[in-house]
Chains A and B, each alone.
Chain A
Amino acid sequence: AQKITQTQPGMFVQEKEAVTLDCTYDTSDQSYGLFWYKQPSSGEMIFLIYQGSYDEQNATEGRYSLNFQKARKSANLVISASQLGDSAMYFCAMRGFRSKLVFGTGTRLLVSP
């Protein structure tokens, strides 16, 4: 079985600063993918970034990067230069071979001016 753990229910950051959202996972699969989604207050789920279990380099997408530490089974999301529009819920998720996407419980990020 796969499991995602997000231990930070809420995080605060000032505008223009960087913030790290923690995510640890557990799986017995050799091949798996790790994903981060953003859910603003309007409710939609927005895909942000993907990291494959065999990828040697950390994934980056604009201001988002994924700090992947396979031995520690962690996949933290780093948001650089936070903006007010980054205030949202953030979900870490993983998917194994031909399996469903399993989500963590989420971290609510609040960016202050």
Chain B
Amino acid sequence: EAQVTQNPRYLITVTGKKLTVTCSQNMNHEYMSWYRQDPGLGLRQIYYSMNVEVTDKGDVPEGYKVSRKEKRNFPLILESPSPNQTSLYFCASSLVGVEGSYNSPLHFGNGTRLTVT
């Protein structure tokens, strides 16, 4: 089954304790992205990657790191989490294609609900 898999689904941690949220897709998609969703603010892009070893900042990259060593994986790293990073996080992927992706829907993982105390 074609899917984007995020782990864990729920995570409670303390300020300053490094954590990684994993994301993997089995659709051979070039494009992968991380979003966070907060009440009243909608979905905001954190980082994205157009292909292996190519990553770029989104709208709210501060406090996050990513890497794209393999096409299928795009982990999100919080080196020193803070309470303002408490949020619902989504990983997503899509084709890029000749047309440049405007006609490619993003396929989302099931989300990771992170609480930082």
A100 within 8 A of B: yes
Determine the residue in chain B with the shortest Cβ distance to A29: B102
Given contacts A45-B90, A105-B42, whether A99 and B111 have CB atoms under 8 Å apart is: no
Given contacts A44-B111, A97-B100, A100-B58, whether A35 and B105 have CB atoms under 8 Å apart is: yes
B73 within 8 A of A: no
Size bin of chain A's contact surface: 20 to 34
Given contacts A43-B110, A43-B111, whether A100 and B45 have CB atoms under 8 Å apart is: yes
Determine the residue in chain A with the shortest Cβ distance to B103: A33
Count chain B residues whose beta carbon lies closer than 8 angstroms to a beta carbon of A. 26
What string of 1s and 0s marks CB contacts (under 8 Å) between A62-104 and chain B?
0000000000000000000000000000010001111111011
> Closest CB of chain B to A95's CB: distance in Å?
5
Contact check, A100 vs B33: say whether CB atoms are below 8 A apart. Answer: yes
Contact check, B110 vs A98: say whether CB atoms are below 8 A apart. Answer: no
> Closest CB of chain B to A91's CB: distance in Å?
7
